[in-house]
Homo-oligomer: A and B are copies of this chain.
Amino acid sequence: MLTLPFEEIEEVLVAILQNYNFSDEKAQLIARVHTQSSCDGVYSHGLNRFPLFIDYVKRGIININADPESIASFGAVERWDGRSGPGVSNAHQCMGRAMELAQKYTMGCVALRNTNHWMRGGTYGWQAADRGKIALSFTNTQPNMPPWGGKESRIGNNPFVVAIPRAEGHVVLDMSMSQFSFGKIHTYKLNNEKLPFFGGWDEEGNLSKDPEKILARERGLPIGYWKGSALSIVLDMLAALLSDGNPTCRIAEDGIETNISQVFICIDPENFSDPSLKDRLLDEIIDHVHDVPPMDEGDQTYYPGERTLAARKQHRKDGVPVSENVWKTITGLT
């Protein structure tokens, strides 16, 4: 495992993206987002995912010159078309627009269709919280979990993000509807370990903790079994309905995950609460959760986003971890 300075990684990614003819603005944004995700400890959607992103660019699946376009405006809700552009720049712009709508109406929503993978969903939560806004956001994906009772993957793991700004560290929840991502299950397999809880189904249709057996069929387990399955379905309906875009059942029919649908909801707390009173309330909730005796000796409870911030601080100081293989692949892209 290498540890490299944030700025060094970012510069390398910018240069690669410029080589692939991204505009300076897009190159800088996308390089920063991938670097930040690894810096925050979300390697799977940071540097580890960069080669796959470039592969989609090379295959012409992602239109690097496309910017999202406002299609229609309905008061506090707007519909945008991502025109198959980069998922990161599309999502960044739409969250920015949702913030403007929230400033005006206190709550605003942008629904985005025909966009690409936004990488780490939490990115746009931190973006909003850094500007003092509350965000609720979600995306649909290709099918990767069976609906509860079914045998084939027909629903997406549809990441869901909630961000709440706070001076001492934003609260940011970034969760998908699957108990474990396939990336995480793959890591267990590499380490020759079982999952701590069920993560999917084996060939025979039994719930399993065996990474190899789960990966053989790629049927992920929804959080809370029937509950996460249902939540995935309604998030998909909302994303497709609001954006007039593709639902999960139309995505990746040809194996390529593109032209997905996303929703960005923003709330502006400055319109209704004093920032210090807001933080006092959040601190009260966080203290109550922190204060709890641990279930297992030495264990600890965290608020959503707490460990992200700890990883960020550490990696800004000591360097951002990146596997040698991944870094070799990335530097080979230039």
Would you call A249 an interface residue if the criterion is a C-beta within 8 Å of the partner chain's C-beta atoms? yes
Range for the number of chain A residues in contact with chain B: 35 or more
Tell whether A205 pairs with B295 under 8 Å between CB atoms, given A109-B107, A234-B171, A285-B237.
Answer: yes
A234 to B305, CA, bound (A): 11
Give A206's nearest chain B residue, CB to CB.
B295
Tell whether A300 pairs with B149 under 8 Å between CB atoms, given A223-B227, A284-B247.
Answer: yes
Interface segment out of the listed A21-29, A69-77, A82-90, A309-317: A69-77
Give A229's nearest chain B residue, CB to CB.
B301
Distance of A165 from chain B, by nearest CB (Å): 10
A301 to B301, CA, bound (A): 36
A267 touches B242 (CB 8 A): yes
A288 to B299, CA, bound (A): 43
Distance of A290 from chain B, by nearest CB (Å): 9
Identify which of residues 226-264 in chain A touch chain B, using a CB-to-CB cut-off of 8 Å.
Answer: 227-228, 230-231, 233-238, 240-242, 244, 247-250
> How would you classify the secondary structure of chain A's contact residues: helix, strand, loop or mixed?
mixed
Would you call A154 an interface residue if the criterion is a C-beta within 8 Å of the partner chain's C-beta atoms? yes
Interface segment out of the listed A6-14, A58-66, A183-191, A268-276: A268-276
Would you call A17 an interface residue if the criterion is a C-beta within 8 Å of the partner chain's C-beta atoms? no
Distance of A212 from chain B, by nearest CB (Å): 20
A94 to B250, CA, bound (A): 36
Give A143's nearest chain B residue, CB to CB.
B288
A77 contact set on B, CB distance < 8 A: 105-107, 267, 271-272
State which of B149, B273, B304 has its C-beta within 8 Å of the C-beta of A295.
B149
B285 touches A240 (CB 8 A): yes
State which of B164, B295, B296 has its C-beta within 8 Å of the C-beta of A234.
B164
- Of residues A164, A224, A247, which shows the largest number of chain B Cβ atoms within 10 Å of its Cβ? A224
A82 to B294, CA, bound (A): 36
A227 contact set on B, CB distance < 8 A: 175, 179, 223
Distance of A152 from chain B, by nearest CB (Å): 5
State which of B149, B235, B240, B300 has its C-beta within 8 Å of the C-beta of A301.
B149
B interface footprint on A293-334 (CB within 8 Å = 1, 0 otherwise): 111100111111000000000000000000000000000000
B228 touches A76 (CB 8 A): no
B241 touches A273 (CB 8 A): yes
A234 to B173, CA, bound (A): 8
5 contacts between A and B (CB under 8 A): A75-B105, A146-B292, A149-B295, A154-B288, A175-B231
Closest 4 CB pairs of A and B: A223-B224, A150-B292, A249-B288, A74-B106
Point out residues on A near B: beta carbons under 8 Å. 72, 74-77, 79, 104-109, 134, 146-152, 154-155, 162, 164, 171, 173, 175, 179, 197, 201, 205, 223-225, 227-228, 230-231, 233-238, 240-242, 244, 247-250, 265, 267, 269, 271-273, 278, 281-282, 284-285, 288-289, 291-296, 299-304
